[in-house]
Homo-oligomer: A and B are copies of this chain.
């Protein structure tokens, strides 16, 4: 195991960055350093702050003895900063979309940008440890997955790898997210009065997270119908996924497939027959909960997956990746909340 590390956080005033800070404070081997890259005047803390702060500059990171960096920033900031950090020998976990895709054409199409350092795209590991753990371990740049793709990929990849789906009928992924997924920057879309007691769909068939799901599941674009919806909820994502299998399958057969991929995985929990995940079960945790209903006669499987968009969908998975990169136990700092395994009276 590695020794104690100091890890910087860029973007700590956002929701994902703040969650990184919260997690690292309970991490047994990592000490956070706040990296100031623009105005942080809105972060007035009521109590004496003890986390060190330094400017987000390579020399300052060296002086401070920072060992690695989390970028909880926009694609634009990450694209500009990551090459210099890597050149300075600092491993990066990037929570933006800047290095998640492989093809510059996909950046053109989905993000409307000309990627300035396409050579780095192939160096980046896609930080979904359940499937790319060994790559993460040896990488210095990890592209932390998007929140929607994390739940979708964990739900679909086992079924795709076993080639049991009738792909011609397509896969429907109906996703719902809490508002923190839209970030902390104020907008009319996130105004309390616009969100409370409301539900709205957006980016139907056109969400930027679609290519990430295609990459990981090996689905073709026309095979995946993805819709995002904004819930009147602070944090949490629930995805309801509709597939059809090639051959009739019983519930236990589907479960056996998930067991094959997730037995021993610390952060994937499979629900028993007849029960389905909800947001309450995963809020504040790094778990991805998966349950499903099967109708063998019609070969339909409906999967329900839930994650906390700020934890397994962002900061928690980022720490999971950092642990792998730095040689700490994968769960370090991520299982301290004793209540999560049992859920108590829910």
Query: Interface residues, chain A, CB within 8 Å of chain B?
Result: 12-15, 17-19, 21-27, 42-47, 49-51, 168-170, 172, 174, 176, 178-180, 184, 186-188, 190-202, 204-206, 221-222, 225, 227, 229, 231-236, 238, 240, 242, 244, 269, 271-272, 275-281, 283-284, 289, 293, 295, 297-298, 300, 302, 304, 336-339, 341-346
A339 x B231 contact (CB < 8 A): no
Q: How long is the Cα–Cα vector from A193 to B277 in the complex, in angstroms?
A: 17
B188 x A343 contact (CB < 8 A): no
Q: How many copies does the complex hold?
A: 4
Known: A168-B169, A201-B276, A242-B242. 5 other contacts (CB 8 A): A22-B344, A45-B346, A170-B244, A192-B192, A201-B238
A279 neighbours in B (Cβ, 8 Å):
197-200
A170 neighbours in B (Cβ, 8 Å):
169, 244, 300
Q: How long is the Cα–Cα vector from A229 to B229 in the complex, in angstroms?
A: 13
Instruction: Pick from B205, B232, B244, B281: contact of A293, CB below 8 A.
Output: B205
A304 neighbours in B (Cβ, 8 Å):
201, 204
B186 x A187 contact (CB < 8 A): yes
A281 neighbours in B (Cβ, 8 Å):
46
Instruction: Pick from B197, B271, B275, B339: contact of A283, CB below 8 A.
Output: B197
Q: How long is the Cα–Cα vector from A41 to B238 in the complex, in angstroms?
A: 27
Residue of B nearest to A21 (CB): B344
B199 x A197 contact (CB < 8 A): no
A26 x B339 contact (CB < 8 A): yes
CB distance from A334 to the nearest CB of B (A): 12
Could you list 6 examples of A-B contacts with CB < 8 Å?
A: A46-B281, A178-B197, A186-B188, A192-B195, A200-B279, A221-B298
B193 x A196 contact (CB < 8 A): no
B15 x A278 contact (CB < 8 A): no
A204 x B345 contact (CB < 8 A): no
Residue of B nearest to A168 (CB): B169
B187 x A190 contact (CB < 8 A): no
CB distance from A51 to the nearest CB of B (A): 6
A232 x B338 contact (CB < 8 A): no
A191 x B184 contact (CB < 8 A): yes
Contacts A47-B343, A169-B170 known; A188 to B42 CB distance under 8 Å? yes
A174 neighbours in B (Cβ, 8 Å):
172, 174, 240, 242
Contacts A204-B302, A298-B222 known; A47 to B199 CB distance under 8 Å? no
Instruction: Pick from B25, B193, B298, B342: contact of A47, CB below 8 A.
Output: B342
Task: Select the residue from A42, A289, A298 with max chain B CB neighbours within 10 A.
Answer: A298
Contacts A198-B278, A201-B276 known; A341 to B192 CB distance under 8 Å? no
